[in-house]
Amino acid sequence: MAVESISFTLPTRAGTNVLNITEHVRDAVASSGIKDGIACVFVPGSTAAITTIEFENGVIQDLVQAIERIAPEDIPYAHDAAWHDGNGHSHVRSALIGPSFTVPFTDGRLLLGTWQQIVLLDFDNRDRKRKVIVQVVGE
pLDDT band at 30 (very low <50, low <70, confident <90, very high): very high
CA-to-CA distance for 105 and 41, rounded, in angstroms? 13
Strand order in the sheet with 37-42: 2-12, 128-138, 37-42, 100-106, 109-110
Per-residue pLDDT of 59-115, as tens digits, reads 999 999 999 999 999 999 999 999 999 999 999 999 999 999 999 999 999 999 999
Q: What is the mean pLDDT of residues 19-39?
A: 98
CATH number of the domain at 2-138, out of 1.10.600.10, 3.90.79.10, 2.60.120.460, 3.40.50.261?
2.60.120.460
| Mean pLDDT rounded to a whole number for the chain | 97
In percent, how much of the chain has pLDDT > 90?
100
Going from N- to C-terminal start, the domains of the chain cover 2-138
In this prediction the pTM is 0.95
Q: What is the pLDDT of residue 128?
A: 97
Instruction: Compute how many other C-beta atoms are within 10 angstroms of the C-beta atom of residue 78.
Output: 8
